[in-house]
Structure formats: C-alpha cells, structure tokens
A = this chain, B = another copy of it.
Amino acid sequence: MCRWAAYRGTPIPLEQIVSAPGHSLIEQSHQATEAKTATNGDGFGIAWYGEHTEPGLYRDVLPAWSDCNLKSLARQIRSRLFLAHVRASTGGATSRDNCHPFVLGKWSFMHNGQIAGFEQIRRPMEAALSDRLYRARHGATDSELLFLLALEFGLETDPTGAFGAAIRFALAEAARAGVRELVRFTAAFSDGETLYAIRYATDAHAPSLYSAPTCGNAGHCLVSEPFTDTQTKWHEIPAGSIVTLRAGGISSARFSPLRVDAVRVAEVA
C-alpha cells in the first residue's frame, strides 16, 4: 500500500503538500507506528507541471524522509498541478523505474493498489501495447502497465473509458490464466490541465481516497489518506468514483467499468 497526494490550483510550493511538518505526505508516511499500514520507504517521486507541456519528474529509491534533495526541491519548486508518491513495494524491485509517478509526454500517473496474480498475466498485458508504448515501458510494475494500457485504450480522449478498458483487460487475462480476478485501483493522473483521480476495486476494499480544498482555498488536494492536521476538512470519495479537478472546480462521476449504466455526474461538496 503506497500513499500519494495530488494538487491542482493556484501555484504553491510543493513542500506545502509534500514535506511540511505536521501535515504532509512525508510526515505521514514516516510515522509507521501510528498508521494502519506499513512504512512507505521503497522510493518516492514527484511530477509537477511548469512552463513545459511535459511535467518535471524527480524519483529516487531512498525513503522520501531521508532525501535532503527532495526537501530542498519541494521548497523551491512552485507548481499549479503536481503529483507526489511514496512507495511501499509489494515485492517488486526498488529501482527508479519502478517509482511513481510514471510520465509519458504530457501525461503523468501514480497508483495505490494491485492486480492479483500480476506476474501470471504480465506478458499478455505487455503484448497488448503498440510498439510505441511497448518501448515506453521502463519498469516492471503493474501500475506502469495499467498507465500504458490506458494510453493505448484512449486516455487522451476518454479517461474513464480508457482506464475502464485497461481494468477489464487485466481481469479478462486473469480469467484466461485462471488466477484470481481482482483489481484494486486508486490512482491520480493528469494531462497538465485537468487532474483526475479514480477510486475503484472489484471487491469491497478499494484503497481510500479523500479530497479537500487546501491552502486557504487556493486549490484542491486529493490524497490516499488524510493528513494529520485538524484544519483541513477531508471528504471521502466513495469507491467506484472518478473525480475531476478542472479550472471550473471539482466534480465526481461513477466509475464502474464492469457495468453498462450511463455515467451519472455529481457535485462534490
């Protein structure tokens, strides 16, 4: 179980979300004894949008809390839209290529969750990639592969449909391989303009997702777990949702890739 945080709004220093004492991703991830889950010490990463179309990317294999570079970067870099992730590997190697966020062109992506029996279905999932995206595969994680499959399946024009198709594809391959058909998927991703987050699982255990206005309403924050400060009013996103953060505000829709229903849009308080 990894943890992540994402922000969209008026440009703020990354440190306000990433490393500020008392209510940040790093602070939270290190206090292993107070948390329900294990320490997230298997690498970290930040992707942030600045003046270029493609985001900046800084990832390393150290625990986030012991990287003095991260602390300085998070203090100096100001961004209107960024993703930050601390990793707790479920078995994969600790390498930069396996650290989130993953970036391709203007898109960035990070994930907390799992595909059951991934090693059994990794090969057919990789085979479904076009040559261009096959070459863009750098690591060995299920997360990066879901991101690439979503790009393959139309992320550019239909995020809901693309990640739905990627998840259905993984489940179909699991069925074919005779392994447990289980996907848990709480992810954030962006094209540099809109920030999306999905909370979903095929069982009752979708990894948590919360949203809140932050930094004095300068913007919105999406996190896998609430920070420990008491000021921010966190709103739990229900399982089976896709949240969209645009210039116009935050909205939420049902994300149910296995159903045929029409998508119902709802406002988030």
Q: Which residue of B lies closest to A61 (CB)?
A: B62
Distance (whole angstroms) from the CB of A94 to the closest CB of chain B? 4
Check: A37 CB closer than 8 A to any chain B CB: yes
Instruction: Check A72 against B93 for contact (C-beta < 8 Å).
Output: no
Nearest CB on B from A81, distance (A) = 13
Q: Give the size category of A's interface with B.
A: 35 or more
> A188 → chain B, closest Cβ, in Å?
19
Within 8 A of B (CB), among A96-132: 96-97, 119, 122-123, 127, 131
Instruction: Evaluate contact between A58 and B69: CB separation under 8 angstroms.
Output: yes
Residues of A whose CB lies within 8 Å of any CB of B are 30-33, 35-39, 41-42, 48, 50-52, 56-63, 66-69, 72-73, 75-78, 89, 93-97, 119, 122-123, 127, 131, 134-135, 138, 140
Give 13 pairs: A residue, B residue, CB < 8 Å, sorted on A.
A32-B33, A33-B35, A39-B39, A39-B41, A41-B41, A57-B68, A58-B72, A61-B62, A66-B93, A68-B96, A93-B96, A95-B96, A127-B127
